[in-house]
Amino acid sequence: MTKLQERNRAGLKLLRTGGGTRGLLSAEGHRAGQGGTLRAAVFGINDGLVSNISLVMGVAGAGTDSRFVLLAGLSGLLAGAFSMAAGEYVSMSAQREVFEAQIAFEQRELADDPQGELAELTQIYRAKGLPEAQAATLAASMMADPRIALDTHAREELGLDPDELGSPWGAAFSSFGAFVVGAIIPVIPYIIFGNPTAFWASVLLSALALFIVGVLLTTFTGRNWLYSGLRMMLIGTLAAGVTYLVGRLIGVSVTG
């Protein structure tokens, strides 16, 4: 191992363990990333569940045959899932392009003004609490390798991890899958049963699923699980109830 590699490794170790700051931020960032994925999945399931139970109840309220309710539910599932996936893909693509542009700009700055970037990195380390001489030494060590310099500036100055800018396709597929999981729940009874069994089974199954989603949300909110579960169930059933009444009124006016 060369002296340069030894200095770089020592510098990275210092950032991760020195004073506990970098190590804490790295660990918290890792947990936040995992939590963000789970959170997106839970909210995706909730979106699919609430939107499709409302659609299913609205069509069922119109007094149509269970086959039409099933068709409406499956159509809502596919339309919503593709819409969510497309939205996530476009959003993540735009975000990634912005991040890549920022990193490319930082790379040009490193090539055009290495001394200015060295001073900038030194000030960042000084702000983290390192003594001036130690901050200057560590910054010089990081700047000695262009690849490490770019990675360090991206993380320390821009707050970006070049290796984890987000995958548009990954976001699209995960959003699609989460929405489908939630949206299929009110449809399942209509696949298995006929009216009126399917209607009440859909209501009960969806209410249970809404309660479970509410309980899962306490992982992020820290609220009481019973309160959160009941609140989510109330919100979802209220939305479904409104669309059911609308469908009922439309069905009566059409047949009347």
pLDDT per residue rounded down to tens, the chain (256 residues): 444 444 444 444 444 444 433 333 343 444 444 445 667 778 889 999 999 999 999 999 888 788 899 999 999 999 999 999 998 899 889 988 888 888 888 888 888 888 888 888 888 888 888 888 888 888 888 888 888 888 888 888 787 777 777 788 888 898 999 999 999 999 999 999 877 789 999 999 999 999 999 998 888 878 899 999 999 999 999 999 999 999 888 865 544 4
Residue numbers of the domain that contains 18: 3-251
DSSP 8-class letter at 145: S
- Number of domain units in the chain: 1
Burial 139-174 (b: 16+ CB within 10 A, else e): bebbbeeeebbbbbbbbbeeebebeebeebeebbeb
Residue 256 lies in a domain: no
What Cα–Cα distance (Å) separates residue 208 from each residue in 147, 186, 205, 236? 52, 11, 5, 11
Polymer length of the chain: 256
What Cα–Cα distance (Å) separates residue 163 from each residue in 21, 166, 244? 21, 9, 48
Whether the model clears a pTM of 0.85, i.e. scores above it, the answer is no
Closest CA to 81 of 214, 181, 230, 170: 181
Enclosing H/E stretch for 127 = helix 114-127
DSSP string, 70-100: HHHHHHHHHHHHHHHHHHHHHHHHHHHHHHH
